[in-house]
Amino acid sequence: MFELPPFRQCPRCKKETFGTLSVGDNSVTKRCQQCRYSHDEGLPDLDKRVIYLDQFAVSELYKTKSKTRKPGAAHEKFWQDCYAAANRAYLRQQVIFPISNLHADETIVWHSPEELRLAHEMFSGETSLERTEVIAAEQEWQFAEAYIKKQPAPAISFNVDDILTGERNVWLPVFHINVNSNMSIFAPGIRSDRATAEASLQDLADQWAQKKPTFDEVLKHELNAYGPAMRQALVAQIKRNEAAMASNDPSSVLQLSFNLINRYQQLTDLFIKSGTPRNAAFNEVLKFLDWPENHFQPAHRIFAYLFAALAWRISSGQRTAMKASILNDFNAIATYAPFVDAMFVDRQCASLLTQGRLRSEISYRAKIFSMNDPNAFIGYLDDISEQAPPEIVMLSKDLYGAT
C-alpha cells in the first residue's frame, strides 16, 4: 500500500485507514487502504525563501545526515544544529535550497557524487537555479538592446522565480523520483580545467604581491576587461572545438562546446533585426562588448568588485592559498546574490563582501552567511521556521513529520 500515516477515519467506510497518497502543487490526495475511497484536499498558499548553499555546506550537511562525518570533526555541533534547522524550515515549507550548475560540476569530482547529488535534490524543493552563464547572457542581451537603442544601462529585474526551474511555492511531494545519471566521464576534464585555473590564479596572486596594485587599479582593469575577456573566450572555444573535431580521439567530443558561439550568433542576429547590415553585424557586436555601460552588468560588476577586493588584500600582504574554487564562489555570488534571499558562502568571500567599497558600491538582495559567524545562519533558519503559520506547521507535521 502507498498510503502514508497518520491515518484517520475514512469518510466512506469509517475505518481508521484514511491516509496520505500523494502531495502535488497545492493539494494532497487522501485514500483509504480498505475501501479505496479517495479525495483531494486543498493546501494553503506558500511563499518560500530561496537560499543558496555553497558546495562545502552541501557536503557537510550530507555527511551530517548520512552520519559519515568523522566523530569529533571540526564544527560537529554546528553542522548537526544546522541540518536540524535547515530541515525544519524546509519541511515546514518555508525555504528551498536549489541546485545550480556550479554544484553539479563540484559534485562530479566528489568521491560519492550520486549520493551527494541525491542529498541536495532532497533539499532543493524539486527546483534548480538557471545556469550562471545563461543569466549572464540574458543580462548582456538586455544591455545590447539598450546599446542598439542608444539608451543608458538598463534596469535589471531580479525576480527569483525568473531564474528557477521548477515551482518555488508548491508543497513538497512525499515521494522523490531520482534519475541516477553517471557523470563521472566528465570528471577528468573538470579536474584539468580546475588545475589550469588554479595555476593561473597563483601566478596572478604572485604579481599582485609583487606589484601591489590598488583596489581602484584592479577594479578599473576588471571592469574594462569585459570586451577583451569575452572575445578571448570566444576565440578559445572556437579553437578548442576545431582541435576536438580534427582529433582522432573519440573522447574529444566531450571537449565540444557551443554556448559562447551560439550566444554571439544570437546577438549578431539581434543587430541584424535592428537594422545593422548583415556583413557588419558581428563587428558591431564586438564594438558593443567594449561599451562602457557594460561596467554595470550586475554579474560582471559584482565579480569585478570581488576580484579587486581579493587583489587588494594580497597586495596588502594578506596572502592566502589560491584555489580554483574561489572562482566558482565569486561566480555564484555575482550571479545569484541579486536574486536569492540568502547565501551560505566561503569564509573568505563573506569577508571580502564586508569591505567598505563592496558594501557601498554594489547591491544585492541576499543576506550573506558563512563560518565566520555560523550561529547567525542557524538563527536565520530558526526565524524562518517560526514564521510559518500554525496551519502550515500542523499540515507539515502530518504530511512530512516536521517538528
- Per the structure, how many domains does the chain have? 2
Q: Say which residue the cell 525544519 belongs to.
A: 88
Candidates 322, 343, 330; CA nearest to 303 is 330
Distance CA 374, CA 376 (A): 5
Range with lowest mean pLDDT among 65-69, 166-170, 180-184: 180-184
DSSP-assigned letter for residue 20: E
Condensed to tens digits (0 to 9), the pLDDT of residues 320-378 reads: 666 767 888 999 999 999 999 999 999 999 999 998 899 999 999 999 999 999 999 99
Query: Count of residues for the chain?
Result: 403
pLDDT band at 74 (very low <50, low <70, confident <90, very high): confident
Please spell the DSSP secondary structure of 302-360, one letter per residue: HHHHHHHHHHHHHHTT------THHHHHHHHHHHHTTTSSEEE--HHHHHHTTSHHHHH
Q: Are residues 173 and 205 in the same domain?
A: yes
Contact 338, 158 (CB under 8 A): yes
Condensed to tens digits (0 to 9), the pLDDT of residues 121-174 reads: 667 888 999 999 999 999 999 999 999 999 999 999 999 999 999 999 999 998
What range does the domain containing 36 cover?
4-43
Q: Are residues 354 and 375 in the same domain?
A: yes
Domain for residue 287, yes or no?
Answer: yes
Q: Are residues 254 and 131 in the same domain?
A: yes
Domain for residue 55, yes or no?
Answer: yes
Q: Are residues 52 and 36 in the same domain?
A: no
Q: Are residues 21 and 89 in the same domain?
A: no
> In the prediction, which pLDDT does 299 show?
97
Q: Are residues 39 and 96 in the same domain?
A: no
pLDDT band at 189 (very low <50, low <70, confident <90, very high): very low
Q: Are residues 8 and 106 in the same domain?
A: no
Q: Are residues 54 and 150 in the same domain?
A: yes
Please spell the DSSP secondary structure of 180-206, one letter per residue: ----GGGHHHHHHHHHHHHHHHHHHHH
Q: What percent of the chain has pLDDT over 90?
A: 65
Q: Are residues 320 and 205 in the same domain?
A: yes
Domain for residue 114, yes or no?
Answer: yes
Q: Are residues 32 and 94 in the same domain?
A: no
Q: What is the average pLDDT across 308-316?
A: 91
**Residue 71: what are its φ and ψ, rounded to 5°?**
-55, 130
